[in-house]
Structure 1
Amino acid sequence: MDFVDNYGWWLLALVLIGAEMIAPGYFLLWIGIAAGAMGIITWIFPALPALAQAVSFGLLSIAACGAYWRFVRPYAEQRDDQPLLNKRGAQLVGQRFVVSEAIVNGRGKVKVGDGSWLASGPDLPAGSEVEVVAVEGTTLTVRAVS
């Protein structure tokens, strides 16, 4: 029976780590590492009951995911030298544009490059210069430039 337990955990580890390659998100990797650790534990303690194995696996999975969240994730976020690369709206904060459709009742459009974006802000006529102060989804929050 211990042969199946050992290799069962290691097989589960390989399946989870392989699934991480198909659907990346980091959590399957860490749960797979916990399954691999369970393979080692059942190799060292072959008489470990199934309930103890299940509880240990759950605790190891939580600990592994917590270790990722606490130690690895902050490091990965700090390495990003272009944090706004795929955040087009966030790149526009602080830039100035011209109102292309008057902002009436807080809604209008501003010309950005060769297109236009929805804008919210104070009522302004077309042709006014505005500065982007925030982005909410696909709407730019603007203020008038004096």
Structure 2
Amino acid sequence: MHYVWWIVALLLIGGEVVLPGYFMLWIGIAAAAMGIVLLAVPDMGALAQAIVFGVFAFVSCFAYWKLVRPRIERVPHGNERLNRRGEQLVGQRFVLCEAIVNGRGKAKVGDGMWLVAGPDLPLGAPVEVIGIDGTTLRVKAVDVG
């Protein structure tokens, strides 16, 4: 009867492929473990099997939630802003390639130009990025000394 648990395990793990989310994977692992237990104790009753499977499923899902999931979701140090380029520019200094008039202008960033918002400044003035609003960099004037 152990093979029934292994079939259930394969169906659950296969279901995880169709509906990803890790939940069915860990219950499938619990079903596979139940098949191994039933191989060792072949005369276990149906109620005992259900109870042991429930415990295995709870323990495997809990282990995923507390041990595996935090490691998967952890962002390596230094990569917090990896896909948010604007935030990577905060604190850096650039030169205006279009004067800031009425609070809007452009600054040369690398080989491109970014929209900037800040106090009115002339063309060529150095600015420092102090924040970001969508795709517009908020800047302040930099004293050249």
Same-fold call, TM cutoff 0.5: yes
Per-residue deviation, 1:65? 2.9
Q: Which blocks of at least 5 consecutive residues in structure 1 are unaligned? A: none
Identity rate of aligned residues, in percent? 39
Per-residue deviation, 1:130? 0.3
Per-residue deviation, 1:36? 0.9
Over the residues paired in the alignment, what is the CA RMSD in angstroms?
A: 3.6
C-alpha separation in 1, matches of 2:37 and 2:136:
58
C-alpha separation in 1, matches of 2:134 and 2:90:
13
1:120 counterpart letter in structure 2: A
* Residue matched to 1:38: 31
Q: Kindly indicate whether the alpha-carbon contact (under 8 Å) linking 2:127 and 2:141 is maintained by their aligned counterparts in 1.
A: yes
Partner deviation per Cα, 1:90-118 (whole Å, 9 max, x = no partner): 33222211222232343322111221101
Alignment length (residue pairs) = 134
Q: Kindly indicate whether the alpha-carbon contact (under 8 Å) linking 1:100 and 1:111 is maintained by their aligned counterparts in 2.
A: yes
* Residue matched to 1:77: 75
Write out the 4+ residue segments of structure 1 that deviate beyond 4 Å after TM superposition: 51-60
Q: Kindly indicate whether the alpha-carbon contact (under 8 Å) linking 1:34 and 1:64 is maintained by their aligned counterparts in 2.
A: no
TM norm structure 1: 0.63
Structure 1 pair 52/111, CA: closer, same or farther in 2 (3 Å)?
same
Q: Which has the larger radius of gyration?
A: 2
TM norm structure 2: 0.63
Structure 1 pair 12/41, CA: closer, same or farther in 2 (3 Å)?
same
Q: Which blocks of at least 5 consecutive residues in structure 2 are unaligned? A: 39-43
C-alpha separation in 2, matches of 1:136 and 1:53:
51
